[in-house]
Amino acid sequence: MKSLAYLDHAATTPARPEVIAAITEELATGGNASSLHTVGRAARKVVEESREAVAHALGCGPSEVVFTSGGTESDNLAVKGTWWQRRGGDPKRNRLLIGATEHHAVLDAVEHLVHHEGAIVDWIDVDRSGRSDPSQVRELIERDPDSVALVSLMWANNEVGAIQPVADVASVAHEHGIPMHTDAVQAIGQVPVDFTASGADLLTASAHKFGGPQGVGVLVARRDASLVPLTHGGGQERQLRSGTLNTPGIRGMAVAATLAMQELPQEQEKLAALRDKLIRGALDLGLDIEVTGAHEVGDVTARLAGNAHLRVPGCDGDSLLYLLDAAGIECSTGSACQAGVPQPSHVLLAMGISEDDARGALRLTLGHTSTDADVAAFLAALPAAVDRARRARSASRGGR
C-alpha cells in the first residue's frame, strides 16, 4: 500500500533536494581528498569548505569537526576514546557517569567497557518527564571526583523527545576537570545547538537526522580533547578517524546542516504546531491514550518540536505498528536501532513507566516534509488499529 503518512523522522528524515543535487554533483567529480593532484586537491577543498559550514551550523571551530560514518561511530569514539585516554593516564579513573536513557550507541559502548575493561557505571536518573537533575550528577561526581573518566548525557532523547540540561551538567563536570559528551543526534534541526555555548567537550551528530545522507556524521571534539582512536591507518581527521573521507556525503551533510540552521525558527514553529495537533487529536479520540513525558502546547524547551510519544493501554506496540503500516501510516515504537527486539523500552522503564504500559508505546516523529495531511491520516487510521490491536491482545491472553 502506498504510504499516506511518514511519521518516523527520528529514524531517518528524507534527504533534501538540495542535498541530493550536491551529492550527485560530487559523485560525478570524484577524487580522494588525501591525494595531492588536481582532482584530489579539489576534493580536499570541498571537504574543508564543508567543515567550515558544519562548524558554523553547530557553533564550533572548523578544527573541532571530526568527520565519521555517523552517530554510532561518533558515540563510540567519544566514549571509548575518552575512557582509554583517561584510564591510561590514571588507572584510578574507572568510573563513567551515563544517562539512563541514552541511545544504545552509547549504552552498548559502555557495556563493552564494563565487561571487557573493568569500567564502573553510575547511572544518571531521569524523572517522569525524562529529564535529569544536574544536582544528581554533582552528587555522583563528588563521591570520588578523581575516579570519573567521563560524563555522557544526550541533548535530546530519541524516543520521548525530552531535552536535557546539557549546559548545566557540563558546568558541574568541569568544576572537577571531567570531560562531558553529549549525543545531539536528535537535537540538530529541531532546537538550537551551539557546541561552544553548551560547554560540552564532545558532541555527536548524524547527517540523516536533519535531511542529509545516511552514513556520514561528525564528532565535534574540543581542540584540547584527548582521545584514543578506534581505527588506525592514514591518520585523517586529527589522527582520530583514519579512512578515506566520504567527500560526497560530507558535502551533502554540510548543505543539510546549513539549511537546518537557517530554517530552524520556522521549522520549530511548524513542527510544534503539528505535534500539538497530533497529540490533541489522539487524546480526543476517547481511546484512553496517554502522552509520555512533559507536554505543553507550543513548548519547544522541554520536548522536541517534532516528537509525540503516546501510550495506548491494552495494546502491544508492535501490533499497532504493523496495523498502522498496513493502513499506510509509517511510525515506530521506539529506536529504529532496536526494532524487532521484544522487550519494553529502557527509556520508558527509566522514567518509571510500568512494563505493561511501556509495551503499548508509539513514537510519532515529524520533520521537514511533514504536513497537516500526515497528522490527519494518522488520526483517521488510529481508532481501527487500536481496536484490532486490543482484540488481538485479549485473544492472546485467553480473553482475560
Q: Report the catalytic residues.
A: 337
Task: Please list the alpha-helical segments (H only) found in 243-316.
Answer: 247-283
Instruction: Determine how many CB atoms are found less than 10 A away from the CB of residue 238.
Output: 15
Shortest CA distance to 90 belongs to which of 153, 202, 178?
A: 178
Inter-residue contact 190 to 274 (CB < 8 Å): no
Upper half-sphere CA count for residue 130 (Cβ side, 13 Å): 27
Cell (9 digits) for 5? 503518512
Shortest CA distance to 382 belongs to which of 285, 277, 275?
A: 285
Q: In what order do the strands lie in the sheet with 202-206?
A: 65-68, 217-221, 202-206, 180-183, 148-152, 95-99, 120-124
Shortest CA distance to 276 belongs to which of 364, 337, 206?
A: 364
Sign of the torsion angle spanned by Cα atoms 37, 40, 44, 45: positive
Which of helix, strand or coil describes residue 311?
strand
Report the b/e string of 281-300 with b at 16+ CB within 10 A: bbeeeebebebbbbbeeeeb
Residues facing residue 310 across a β-bridge: 291, 362
Single-letter code of the amino acid located at 145: P
43 phi/psi in degrees, rounded to 5: -65, -40
CA distance 327 to 3: 8
Shortest CA distance to 23 belongs to which of 336, 255, 350, 335?
A: 255
Element (H, E) at 217: strand 217-221
Cell (9 digits) for 29? 567529480
